[in-house]
Amino acid sequence: MLTRESLFSLERYAELRNQFREQVMAHKRNRRLHLGTNAALYFEDRMTMQYQVQEMLRIEMIFEADAIQEELDTYNPLIPDGSNWKATFMVEFPDADERKVMLARLIGIENKVWLQVGELPKIYPIADEDLQRSDDEKTSAVHFLRFELTPRQISDLRGGAELAAGIDHANYRVEIRPVDEKIRLALLNDLD
């Protein structure tokens, strides 16, 4: 969990921003999982959320304690707590017209994303706990997902079990087997 004390002051962040940004971008490379050509999971952790908070404070010039705490309260829930993975799920269609059509065809896709440890049952996410991002006409291009793992899944991952991922939506099906080892190892660090 991030606290006010774990953040850089605006002045210090200005000095460290380029270096910190490079570090975060390198860190994120092993936390991005492409699910086909038009969807991706961006797994969040303490570092990615610190970067997000620091950038928000910088852009909005926030320096008051209550406002900083409000940002922390917004982003802390996106940090995994040791038995789960939390990810930003993006549906990515660069062309605006195609995106509009596809978001209407992909209603409910956020509930059809899955991860799988070895041959154990697929893990489907708890989606959009903060607010509803889909309606009867379309889904959102951005969703926040939480994948809860059992002690057995965590143990098997530590023992070297393969991680797989995919989407089982009627209009978008993909399976990644196995997930790249660098990503698997990065995600393993989120579990305690």
**36-94, pLDDT tens digit by residue?**
999 999 999 999 999 999 999 999 999 999 999 999 999 999 999 999 999 999 999 99
**117-174, pLDDT tens digit by residue?**
999 999 999 998 766 666 778 999 999 999 999 999 999 999 999 999 999 999 999 9
Q: Is 187 left (phi over 0), alpha (psi -120 to 50) or beta?
A: alpha
| Bridge-based pairing state of the strands 84-91 and 113-117 | unpaired
The model carries a pTM of: 0.93
Domain boundaries, the chain: 7-188
Q: What is the CA radius of gyration of the chain?
A: 18
Q: Which two tokens stand for residue 30?
A: 């092993």
Q: Which two tokens stand for residue 71?
A: 């940002």
